[in-house]
């Protein structure tokens, strides 16, 4: 069976025996490559969100081929290569703004398809480790919908772009070139067939957690990159419910664990998604992990630091079975530290760093990384010497922020595996605990906290002089004693007795 190609133009191919078949080009030289007459070409490995955003970043500078093992659905449907799509996904404002810059109008397209733009903390009922956050006027925002919807809207925008071709049901076998320069990708149909090489000026590995990029680089003789892992043993389980009538504007609700208590970290998040549904994800680290037992799902949510999520779903109709995922290790490859990094190859998204998904940073980091990719290519040209190394260093910046946020918490759970924090990191963690407590009762500090969590602001925003002074003074309002649901929200979901 031949693989489907979603484009009217051909794809440049180099046969293993050395013959070359050039594709028909419908575009002229790119702005960043005005000195050359040949069309530049990029190959992106993986059609998940990171791969789609990388294609969006490169389409002004090259003809882009996206290689994907799955057959891609036309609409917001699940696919085998993205099992994590079954769980709650949060697209923070820092990531949404980056995607909007890469694909102008995509936010309106999400909303038209059924997503919601939820203001933060106005549309958030959240019990942090230090208490309930107040629902102050908007400081940041999130996009709430299923991962399938989010990705399908982005995919549809790129499918309509003549500069981007999708090569589906295709297996990636390795890289062409040598340790100095990657020149293409070896592929064949997933169902079996002839191997061939897709020639490329730039190859972007966006193949996710399952990427074999390190093995491909090893085969070329590229020195190995340092790698770090932090494993809290977290398992998460999700179920979709029919939302009660009248909850069209219902907030996101979550209960977070308190890492200062030496017990397994357990939490729950309820996200309103398209189609009048709630996507509920529960999670727990070693010794307190959820199971796939539907009878235990509500019980688990009720047994948390506060039972609000369990109470809310007790009156909602389940629409699916419980879906469980155990692949939650934080894993980062420091490709930017490899001194002999090859020209023509870049890793982004989860192929570079994967995080405990409970923090919701993966999509936003991928978006900001794609933006950095576009900026470096626009500034230097896709064939510039040293470009790949510049890109790898640039995408490491948003990766580093999310990495510190995730691993700084995960390493502190009982039986967590990984590098322990040093004295400086422990001191900063104590400061952050006080900051989070202050954020429950002081809007200036809450704004700084949300700015960093949503990847809108750098981590340094937490130690700006005005924030430091506010943290030293502490909260100006007393802690809330329960979840800040409004009376109509309580009555609609819990009944008048719990108002």
| Domain assignment of residue 159, yes or no | yes
Average pLDDT, the chain: 89
352 and 299 share a domain? no
pLDDT tens digits for range 197-223: 999 999 999 999 889 999 999 999 999
Q: What mean pLDDT is predicted for residues 308-326?
A: 94
Residue found by looking up tokens 């030293």 in the block: 472
Tell me the CA distances in angstroms from 325 to 1, 319, 358, one per residue in order: 32, 19, 11
Structural domain boundaries, residue 359: 13-89+151-228+329-404
Statement to judge: residues 76 and 31 lie in one domain:
yes
pLDDT digits (tens, 9 = 90+) for 3-25: 344 443 434 443 333 333 333 33
Classify residue 202: in a domain, yes or no. Answer: yes
Higher pLDDT, 248 or 36: 248
Question: Which of these three, 343, 369, 404, is where a domain ends?
Answer: 404
Number of domains within the chain: 2
**Region at 41 (left for phi over 0; alpha for psi -120 to 50; beta for the rest):** beta
Contact 44, 54 (CB under 8 A): yes
Has residue 497 got a pLDDT over 50?
Answer: no
Q: What is the CATH number of the domain that holds 63?
A: 3.50.50.60
Model pLDDT, residue 359: 78
Residue 81 pLDDT:
67
Q: pLDDT per residue over 379-406, tens digit each?
A: 999 999 999 999 999 999 999 989 888 8
Rounded to 10°, the helix 93-102/106-113 angle is: 110
Instruction: Flag whether pLDDT at 112 surpasses 90.
Output: yes
pLDDT confidence of residue 85: 62
Q: Are residues 275 and 309 in the same domain?
A: yes
Q: Show which of 386, 404, 422 is a domain's final residue.
A: 404
Identify whether 28 is part of a domain.
yes
The whole-number pLDDT of residue 385 equals 96
Please check whether residue 431 lies inside any domain of the structure. Answer: no
Are 254 and 343 in the same domain?
Answer: no
Span of 83-87, 343-347, 471-475 with lowest mean pLDDT:
83-87
Q: Given this model, what pLDDT does residue 154 score? A: 97
Residue 38 has pLDDT above 90, yes or no: no
Q: Does residue 238 have a pLDDT over 60?
A: yes
Question: Both 184 and 256 in a single domain?
Answer: no
pLDDT given at position 13: 41
Measured CA to CA, the distance from residue 418 to residue 231 in angstroms comes to: 6
User: Worst-scoring range by mean pLDDT, 29-43, 92-106, 236-250, 426-440?
Assistant: 29-43
Confidence band, pLDDT 50/70/90 cuts, at residue 498: low
Statement to judge: residues 252 and 314 lie in one domain = yes
On whether both 250 and 317 belong to a single domain, the answer is yes
Choosing from 355, 388, 404, the residue where a domain stops is 404
Distance, in Å, from the CA atom of 355 to the CA atom of 333, rounded to the nearest integer, reads: 12
pLDDT higher at 37 or 346: 346
Task: With respect to residue 260, please indicate whether it lies within any of the assigned structural domains.
Answer: yes
Residue 5 lies inside a defined structural domain of this protein: no
Return the pLDDT at 397.
93
Q: Do 272 and 288 have their domain in common?
A: yes
**Range scoring the smallest mean pLDDT among 39-43, 80-84, 188-192, 226-230:** 80-84
Q: Does residue 349 sit within a domain?
A: yes
Q: What is the CATH number of the domain that holds 281?
A: 3.30.70.2450
Do 269 and 335 fall into the same domain?
Answer: no
Structure confidence at residue 280 (pLDDT): 96
- Note the pTM of the prediction, 2 decimals: 0.89
* pLDDT score of 127 more than 70: yes
* Eight-class DSSP state of 223: P
238 and 289 together in one domain: yes
pLDDT per residue over 323-358, tens digit each? 998 877 899 999 999 999 999 999 999 999 988 777
CA atoms within 13 A on the CB side of 476: 7
Q: Using an 8 Å Cβ cutoff, are 187 and 174 in contact?
A: no
Q: Assess if residue 453 is contained within a domain.
A: no
The reply to whether 61 and 168 lie within a common domain is yes
Strand 235-242 and strand 330-333: pairing? unpaired
The pLDDT of residue 452: 95
Residues 272 and 300 grouped into a single domain: yes
């Amino acid at each position: 069976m031949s693989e489907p190609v979603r484009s009217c133009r051909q794809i440049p191919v180099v046969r293993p025996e050395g013959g070359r078949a050039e594709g028909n080009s419908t575009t002229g030289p790119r702005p960043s490559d005005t000195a050359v007459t040949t069309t530049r070409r990029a190959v992106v490995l993986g059609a998940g969100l990171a791969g789609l955003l990388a294609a969006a970043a490169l389409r002004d500078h090259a003809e882009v081929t996206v290689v994907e093992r799955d057959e891609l659905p036309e609409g917001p449907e699940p696919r085998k290569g993205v099992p994590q799509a079954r769980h709650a996904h949060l697209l923070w404002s820092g990531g949404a703004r980056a995607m909007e810059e890469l694909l102008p109008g995509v936010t309106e397209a999400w909303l038209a398809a059924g997503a919601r733009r939820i203001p933060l903390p106005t549309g958030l009922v959240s019990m942090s480790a230090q208490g309930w956050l107040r629902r102050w006027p908007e400081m940041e925002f999130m996009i709430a919908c299923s991962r399938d919807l989010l990705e399908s809207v982005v995919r549809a925008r790129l499918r309509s772009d003549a500069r981007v071709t999708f090569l589906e049901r295709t297996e990636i076998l390795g890289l062409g070139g040598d340790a100095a320069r990657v020149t293409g990708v070896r592929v064949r149909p997933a169902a079996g067939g002839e191997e061939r090489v897709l020639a490329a000026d730039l190859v972007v590995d966006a193949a996710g957690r399952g990427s074999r990029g390190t093995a491909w680089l090893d085969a070329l003789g590229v020195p190995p990159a340092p790698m770090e892992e932090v494993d809290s043993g977290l398992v998460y389980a999700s179920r979709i419910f029919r939302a009660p009538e009248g909850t069209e504007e219902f907030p996101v609700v979550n209960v977070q664990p308190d890492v200062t208590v030496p017990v397994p970290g357990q939490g729950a998040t309820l996200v309103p998604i398209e189609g009048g549904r709630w996507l509920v994800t529960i999670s727990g680290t070693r010794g307190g992990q959820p199971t796939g037992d539907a009878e235990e799902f509500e019980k688990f949510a009720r047994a948390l630091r506060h039972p609000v999520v369990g109470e809310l779903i007790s009156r909602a109709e389940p629409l699916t079975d419980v879906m469980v995922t155990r692949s939650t290790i934080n894993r980062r490859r420091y490709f930017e530290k490899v001194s002999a990094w090859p020209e023509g190859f870049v890793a982004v998204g989860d192929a570079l760093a994967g995080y405990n998904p409970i923090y919701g940073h993966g999509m936003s980091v991928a978006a900001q990384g794609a933006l950095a990719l576009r900026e470096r290519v626009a500034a230097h040209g896709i064939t510039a010497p040293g470009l790949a190394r510049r890109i790898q260093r640039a995408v490491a910046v948003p990766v580093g922020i999310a990495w510190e946020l995730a691993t700084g918490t995960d390493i502190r759970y009982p039986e967590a595996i990984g590098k322990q924090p040093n004295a400086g990191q422990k001191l900063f963690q104590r400061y952050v605990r006080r900051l989070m407590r202050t954020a429950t009762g002081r809007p200036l500090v809450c704004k700084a906290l949300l700015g960093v969590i949503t990847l809108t602001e750098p981590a340094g925003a937490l130690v700006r002089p005005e924030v430091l002074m506010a943290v030293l003074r502490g909260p100006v309002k007393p802690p809330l004693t329960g979840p800040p649901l409004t009376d109509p929200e309580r009555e609609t979901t819990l009944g008048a007795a719990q108002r």
